[in-house]
Amino acid sequence: MEHIFVSVYRFFDKNKTAYWVLLISLIATLSFFASQIKLEEDITQMLPLDEKTEKSNRILSNTKFLDKLVVRISQRDTSANPAPDALVDFADKFVENFNKPSIKPHFEDIQAKIDEDAIAQIQDIIYKNLPFFLSESDYTTIDTLIDKSTIETAMQNNYKLLISPASMLLKRSIIRDPVGITNLGLAKFKSLQPDNQFELYDGHVFSKGQKSLLIFLTSAHPPNETSRNALLIEALDHEIKLLEESDKTMEVIYFGTPAVAVANATQIKKDIAFTLTIALILILFLLWFYFRNLLVLPIILLPALFGVVFSLAIIYFIKAKISVIALGAGTIVLGVAVDYSLHILVHFKHTKSMATVVKDVSVATIVGCITTVGAFFCLLFVKAQLLQDFGLFAGFTLLGAALFSLLFLPQLIKILYKVDAVKPNDISQKHALSSVKMQNSKYGKIWITAIVLLTLLFVFTSRYASFESDMSKINYMSHKLKSAEKQIIIENTEGAKPVYLILNGKNLNEALENSQKTISNIQSHTKFDIEYSGVLDILISEDEQKKRLALWNNYWTDEKKQVLDILITQNAKQLGFKANIFNDFSQLLNEKFYSIDSQSSITLKKKFLKDFVNESEQGTTLLTIVKIGEENRALLLNLLENDPNVVIADKQNLTSRFVEIINSELNIILTLSSVLVFLVLLIRMDE
């Protein structure tokens, strides 16, 4: 093997033009392709993904409900009396400012107020599809609503409302349904509310006590597109600063997945710059301290820099992108990459012959490179994308550095030697680093004793090392975000904590059927005292539609419809209503229903339930939020663990799964790398 590198050295030594043309062309080509690689800032890539967790991650990434920014507006003086009107005015200014053309492209939707037109549209959908919004228990309530005395009271109330100032808003609803059956369907939409810690005032969402107002902001970009979301966060911070300066009695905070992702990406960039700077400073200082010559430093660092460019160019052809976290962690291989050039330079100082140096160190360099690079490439067998990226980057960096050191570096060292930048045997034996002689029996015994004692100590203490089980510590959160999380999320969640269930199916109907089975399974375990919110009371499967339609048809007999029509007509006449004013309601009871109107279903999904329903080529997912006591949380997770149609978006559950994967993969990595190193050394020792 060494003859190949010696031959290359001698060829370049005689053909300097070929050497420089090849070197410059190679660096230019690699630099071009390395510059084309895409850097990713997704923090979730550091998590190991098996088939199940990968499916979970894919489904969660398409669930918009979990990716909202929640903006909280409150009075700065927490002891002051509630001032809901002032909060509403401030919120309206916030929305007005945030709808600037420069900011609008960065967010998809901003929900600050309940739209009255939307409520009217929902009422229309319910009215046109009323049988499908009524459950079996609702018919017990209807028995009460169509009772003679109840109808008399309802008609009197209808009369009072119609002659009141509110008649313009209520007239259409009263005429179409004087009994109030439609309200039973409208009540189903309360199931979308995650908990009871909120109330409405002037169409705005307030926390209980009306001391804070909430605005929900949906980014136009997925959470992993942090560079784009950073523009949204920057605009949000800017507008908040302006508004708080205009009214110093108000305070605005926000929290959500996009904000945490941007904070992580920003901190990662800072950490990479910091660690890279520290690593370079330490390496350069040690090299200068040893050689006492600044001209030597670029020569020693060149192979490492070439290795980085070489690695990025190769990875570009393999996958075209790399995690920026892996890139930052890759700085730890700088010290190893520098070793290759250091060996050659120091050996040249003693031999004075570059051909001899290349012959002596080439085999050792290649063998060392194979074992180290092979160990890093073992990371390709793990399920964490970030570790795979790190393995590729570190492995190819060292390979590039080793090849550069053996093929191109010798000529550069000779050039420096000719200008007296590198002089053979110019290292003083009194140098601090060269004065430590391991062959001295006295020092040798001390070093060996120290190593043995430290090894025994480390074997003992290593038993106490464990994996971090708190997933929240993986994410970086500033004090500002931690405080916002506490005020927005924790303080608005009393008692039972929510568990987010993502239920899936090949299509909407299958997803609805799977969801109903899962909820029924949970409810059948009476030990679970749960509350849940989701779309199951609003969107129903085809089988459930048939059941509800049968309930409607069986309930409304001709006799019951006739009696109800007579009661309404008599009371309307006594109160002075126009004749036939409630004909629409009679027509509703006599209408033939078959299934939910397709246009109504599309409107519900796209306009009112888009945070809970996601349809894609991979299938349909439905979000259901379950609130359960902490004492039953583990039982619920165990119950759903093996359900193939459920993804549990729960930190504790995901943590336990990740730890299991990491444990098994660490054993695989250690085994593979150990076998590789052993085989390489065995072959070389045999030779």
- Is the model's pLDDT at 400 over the cut of 90? yes
- Is the model's pLDDT at 193 over the cut of 80? no
pLDDT tens digits for 443-473?
A: 678 888 899 999 999 888 887 776 655 555 6
Q: What is the DSSP string of 395-447?
A: HHHHHHHHHHHHHTHHHHHHHHHHTTSS-TT-S-TTSTTTT--TTSHHHHHHH
Q: Is residue 27 part of a domain?
A: yes
- Is the model's pLDDT at 379 over the cut of 80? yes
Q: Is residue 383 part of a domain?
A: yes
**Residues β-bridged to residue 622:** 503, 613
The answer to whether the beta carbons of residues 518 and 643 sit under 8 Å apart is yes
- What pLDDT score does 87 carry? 92
Mean pLDDT, the chain, rounded, equals 81
- Is the model's pLDDT at 393 over the cut of 60? yes
Q: How many CB atoms lie within 10 A of CB 14?
A: 9
Mean pLDDT of the 519-546 span: 80
Residue 328 binned pLDDT confidence (cut-offs 50, 70, 90): confident
pLDDT tens digits for 558-599?
A: 999 999 999 999 998 888 888 788 888 989 999 999 989 888
The answer to whether the beta carbons of residues 272 and 324 sit under 8 Å apart is yes
Contacting residues for 327 by C-beta, under 8 A, at least 6 apart: 39, 272, 389, 393
- Is the model's pLDDT at 509 over the cut of 50? yes
Mean pLDDT of the 117-127 span: 86
Distance of CA 64 to the CA centre of its chain: 11
Q: Is residue 130 part of a domain?
A: no
Instruction: Indicate the range of 16-20, 478-482, 551-555 predicted with least confidence.
Output: 478-482
Amino acid at site 276: L
- Is the model's pLDDT at 528 over the cut of 70? no
Place of tokens 């199916």: 505
- Is the model's pLDDT at 490 over the cut of 70? no
Mean pLDDT of the 108-137 span: 86
Place of tokens 């390709």: 380
Higher pLDDT, 639 or 224: 639
Tell me the CATH number at 376: 1.20.1640.10
The answer to whether the beta carbons of residues 492 and 197 sit under 8 Å apart is yes
- What pLDDT score does 428 carry? 42
Query: Into how many domains does the chain fold?
Result: 1
- What pLDDT score does 425 carry? 45
Q: Is residue 345 part of a domain?
A: yes
Tell me the two tokens of residue 616: 């894609």
Q: Is residue 448 part of a domain?
A: no
- What pLDDT score does 86 carry? 92
- What pLDDT score does 491 carry? 56
- What pLDDT score does 607 carry? 81
The answer to whether the beta carbons of residues 2 and 366 sit under 8 Å apart is no
Q: Is residue 584 part of a domain?
A: no
Q: How far apart (Å, rounded) are the C-alpha atoms in residues 157 and 159?
A: 5
Q: Running DSSP on this structure, what letter comes out for residue 236?
A: H
Mean pLDDT of the 507-511 span: 89
- What pLDDT score does 524 carry? 77
Mean pLDDT comparison of 163-177, 277-291, 540-554, highest-scoring range: 540-554
- Nearest to 311, CA basis, from 337, 343, 276: 337
- Nearest to 47, CA basis, from 39, 38, 55, 57: 57
The answer to whether the beta carbons of residues 223 and 229 sit under 8 Å apart is yes
Q: Running DSSP on this structure, what letter comes out for residue 194?
A: S
| Domain carrying residue 306 | 1-36+293-424
- What pLDDT score does 48 carry? 53
Q: Is residue 575 part of a domain?
A: no
pLDDT tens digits for 343-359?
A: 888 888 777 788 888 88
Q: Is residue 371 part of a domain?
A: yes
Q: How far apart (Å, rounded) are the C-alpha atoms in residues 564 and 558?
A: 10
- Nearest to 650, CA basis, from 505, 512, 501: 501
Share of the chain above pLDDT 90, in %: 20
Higher pLDDT, 626 or 153: 153
**Residues β-bridged to residue 71:** 215, 254
- What pLDDT score does 420 carry? 44
Conformational region of residue 146, where left means phi above 0, alpha means psi within -120 to 50, and beta covers everything else: alpha
Residue 424 binned pLDDT confidence (cut-offs 50, 70, 90): very low
Distance of CA 556 to the CA centre of its chain: 50
Beta strands 38-40 and 321-323: pairing type? parallel
